Amino acid sequence: MNAQGFALDVMHQFDEGVAKFLLEQLLDKENSVLEAWRNVAKMDRLYRGIVVPGHHNRNVRSLRQWKMFKAHELRFVVQHALPLLAKDFVDRNVYRVYCLASRIAFTCTKDVISTDDIDELKLLCDRFMIAFQESFGIRLMKFSIHLVSHLWYAVQLYGPLHVVSCYGPEDHIGRITRKIKGQL
């Protein structure tokens, strides 16, 4: 059997990679190249007010706890909150990066992916890479950021990325671990 490639794991690569990096740039005083972290209280109020129709909304943690966010919380942030949080607190070029990341995350995890979605993803991924480099520079282009340029192809090969992600296996590992610890 010949392997053509492997599915990019949306949990590790995008949610815990790209989304976490973008949150760090927005909220972390020590590691950010932006000054947006000065407005974390305002962003937190906006974030806590987000309710997405048809989406199971859990009680959200404060943005001040972003370093402890689980992957599904990071996905919620990137899909639904990043453009809102960044809008008034970063310049237009950086804001474009946040909007592109949000649209990419939404599109590659839709329930059904069409050929039009693949074409849109190709364009979005290319635009994201250019906008990211213009806004943050090559120095901050981590491996997870580079992999965004390949997301469209992974979606073309495997369909919606949440179907082939590590969310399921890691959830089972957690259940098994909790059962084992409960028997000790």
Question: According to the model, what pLDDT value does residue 3 have?
Answer: 44
Rounded-to-integer distance, Cα 147 and Cα 162, Å: 16
Closest residue by Cα to residue 9 from 76, 1, 17? 17
Model pLDDT for residues 7-47, shown as the tens digit of each residue: 566 667 788 889 999 999 999 988 888 888 889 999 999 99
Residues 32/46, Cβ–Cβ less than 8 Å: no
Kindly report the length of the chain: 184
* Phi, psi for residue 179 in degrees, rounded to 5: -65, -45
Mean pLDDT of 52-74: 80
In this prediction the pTM is 0.82
Band of pLDDT at residue 92, cut at 50, 70 and 90 = very high
